[in-house]
Amino acid sequence: MNTKKSAWNKVQNAIGLSEANAADLNDERFLYLKTRIAKLEKSFRFARIPESDIGINEMLKSVLPLMAPKDPVGMEFERVGRSYDGGYVMVKHDAKDRIAYSLGINRDVSWDLDIANRGYDIFQYDHTIDKLPQDHIGFHWKKLGITAANQRTKELSSLDEQMRQNGHEDCTDMLLKLDIEGHEWSVFAELPSETLSKFTQIAVECHGFDRIQKLPWFRTTKEALENLYKTHQVVHIHGNNNSQLRVLGGFPMPKTFELTLLRRDICDFTACSRVFPTELDQPNNPNFADHFLGNFNYF
């Protein structure tokens, strides 16, 4: 009877019945509810708590070293583009071909304008707009989005295909900027090193880290970062403060990062001496505090 009463207390708390209802609860109904509560307790016991989940912790341990910034020896940094959202901190280094690819435009071409004013031709892609917010003689825009080659549609093309159409197969020193709302992972996961190596510097907004526990997202992201790591080194990192900083698997993580990567043959790299955000960084949203990331070297 004591065992039944103890179990009844769990049932009572779970379904909100008063103690007076106990007398009206027949044994069959009681056993059903007791079994149901036991199943619920078991499922809750193993439910993932993202902040402390050991699986997420292991996932992040496998990708965070690929994102850890290093200092480029003998190089300086500058901000390219506007203040706040739309600008990127990049290494001061000219790409000999004077060609840049800008994937994802929306309402902002400040990065494109800064680069075009240095004498570059900017090849721009965005299928979500009907015209550019501002024109420039160096702009070449197509109403196309960019994704992985195996995901192409009438609205979406691949970077390799557009480079072929533009006659850039033999170029070896170009710039690349991407803000394509998650498609960056599939793009980088499939691009061969031969194509990636054509870009001296890559500035990219990386989305979706709140989905780290989703295995398809994790696998594609890990493959993309490993692919980039072969040819480029992360030299700058910034957390986009338009979303909250979260703890995932024990690590403080923004939902979205901005990464700058420099091709490995351009210079030597040493351990990072900077703390992020740096004085060149701007919060994406000036109404919120910027995300403090330290030096982002966990290992």
Q: Cα(84)–Cα(64) distance, rounded to whole angstroms?
A: 25
Contact 239, 245 (CB under 8 A): yes
Instruction: Show pLDDT as tens, one digit a residue, over the chain (299 residues).
Output: 455 455 545 545 554 444 445 555 567 776 777 777 777 656 555 557 889 999 999 999 999 999 999 999 999 999 999 999 999 999 999 999 999 999 999 999 999 999 999 999 999 999 999 999 999 999 999 999 999 999 999 999 999 999 999 999 999 999 999 999 889 999 999 999 999 999 999 999 999 999 998 899 999 999 999 999 999 999 999 999 999 899 999 999 999 999 999 999 999 999 999 999 999 999 999 999 999 999 999 98
25 and 63: one domain? no
What residue numbers bound the domain in which 208 lies? 54-271
108 and 167: one domain? yes
175 and 225: one domain? yes
Amino acid at 252: P
202 and 262: one domain? yes
**SS3 assignment for 185-238:** HHHHHHCCHHHHCCEEEEEEEECCHHHCCCHHHHHHHHHHHHHHHHHEEEEEEE
Q: Is residue 116 part of a domain?
A: yes
92 and 41: one domain? no
38 and 59: one domain? no
- H or E stretch including 9? helix 2-15
140 and 214: one domain? yes
Q: Is residue 293 part of a domain?
A: no
83 and 100: one domain? yes
What's the domain count of the chain? 2
- The CATH code of the domain that includes 104 is 3.40.50
Beta strands in the chain (DSSP E): 70-72, 77-80, 88-91, 99-103, 121-125, 139-142, 145-146, 156-157, 174-178, 199-206, 232-239, 246-248, 251-253, 257-263, 269-271
Residue 20 backbone dihedrals phi, psi, to 5 degrees: -65, -20
69 and 217: one domain? yes
Q: Cα(185)–Cα(140) distance, rounded to whole angstroms?
A: 24
105 and 249: one domain? yes
36 and 87: one domain? no
178: which DSSP letter?
E
28 and 117: one domain? no
pTM for the full predicted model: 0.84
Q: Is residue 296 part of a domain?
A: no
